[in-house]
Structure formats: structure tokens, C-alpha cells
Chain A
């Protein structure tokens, strides 16, 4: 059974810092991996999707990497801003469509 772990569970950093969120998964036979952002009381917003044949994806200040062989993905946020404060969720695709989620990292950026 696939298990997805996100470390740390919570992170608080001052504004302007670069930071890395970690995601690990137990079964490397994944299809794709997707990073989401969730604001309190809201739904999930897709940030980046990495297909199994890719090693990384970039969108603005965000960069996500994928190493299937080691069962790891990282989300790098450059020059963090208070508006980046949210919970970040990693999810792996078991097969083409079934997503397994981690518990998330709650990020707080302090002005």
C-alpha cells in the first residue's frame, strides 16, 4: 500500500527566505506526482504536476523535483512571501488517476 509522508508537518520562516518542503513515498511505481496548496477553509489549488518521465517542473517562484528511484519529491519556494502561507500537499498517482495524499506541511511566512 502506497504511503506518502511530508516533513516537516509545520514550518515557520521569515519573509524572503528560500525554503524546501519534502515529500516521500514508499512505492516508486508511480504515474505522476502533483503538489497542491490549500488555504484555510478552501479547496485544493494545483501548483505543479510532474509526469513520471520528468525530473522537475517550474512555475514562477516554485520548483518541484521528482526522484522516483529514491521515492522523493521536493518543492522549492524562492523568496517566500506572506501570501505563500498555506498548507502544501503532495500527492502521488497510483495508476493514471488514483491519488494518494500526504498529510501536508503547514507553512507560515512571517512578515
Chain B
């Protein structure tokens, strides 16, 4: 299996621009998670989906952030408009709730907002 695939791996953009991060979970996994990692706050859960339905978005920092999962093999995290404080590494992870729930992470998307 190819694992969780994220794109882009690196994104540099200017304040105010729209940013879209993409994720392809492991085939057969029915749960998908978006995390953000910063030096100050560590890893924070932003939102997670079960069977393509958002279950908990309490970690989404504000309305500038939105996430979608139109089908079982694709999800996006969008930031519009972006701000310098959004600079972080964004991780996507997936799991199969039918087993032990073990979480598998992608390589992350490093976002820099100038």
C-alpha cells in the first residue's frame, strides 16, 4: 500500500491567498484526520471524518479554515484567506475504525505564509 498521500509537500504563499491541501487516505480506511503541527503548540487535531462525514471540527481555528471529503479516497483542507500565523506543517492521517483504530500519517504539507 502507498500509505497516506499528501500534496503539496511544500507551499509558500503570500498573506491573503487561498491555500488548498490535499490528502488521499489508505485504501479501505474509513476515518480521516487533519492535524496541524507547530513548535509552540505541538500536534493539534483540526477535524476528522468518518465515512466521509465530518464528526468533530472543534479544532478548526476559525472560519477561514474549511475541510471537505467528497469521497472515500480524497479530502481537502482549505485556508482562505491565509495569514502568517497559519504557517505550520499540516498532516493528514487515516485509520480503519473496524480494527484497532491505529492511525497512519502522511508525510505532511509544510505551509509558509509570508
Contacts and interface: CB of A to CB of B under 8 A. Distances in A.
A101 to B, nearest CB: 4
27 contacts: A32-B101, A42-B107, A43-B4, A43-B91, A43-B106, A43-B107, A43-B108, A44-B91, A44-B105, A46-B102, A46-B104, A46-B105, A49-B102, A91-B43, A91-B103, A96-B97, A97-B33, A97-B48, A97-B50, A97-B101, A98-B45, A98-B56, A99-B103, A100-B45, A101-B42, A101-B43, A102-B42
A96 B56 CA distance: 13
Interface of A: 31-32, 34, 36, 41-46, 49, 51, 89, 91, 93, 96-104
The DSSP consensus for interface residues of chain A is strand
Contact of B97 (A42, A45, A97): A97
Contacts of A103: 42
A42 B55 CA distance: 27
The number of chain B residues touching the other chain, given as a range, is: 20 to 34
A104 B56 CA distance: 24
Nearest to B110: A41
B102 to A, nearest CB: 5
B107 to A, nearest CB: 4
Interface string B14-32: 0000000000000000010
Contact of B101 (A45, A89, A96): A96
B54 to A, nearest CB: 13
B71 interface: no
A98 to B, nearest CB: 6
Nearest to A32: B101
Contacts of A100: 45
Interface in B47-73: 48, 50, 55-56
A34 B106 contact: no
Contacts of A96: 97, 101
A93 to B, nearest CB: 7
Contacts of A42: 107-108
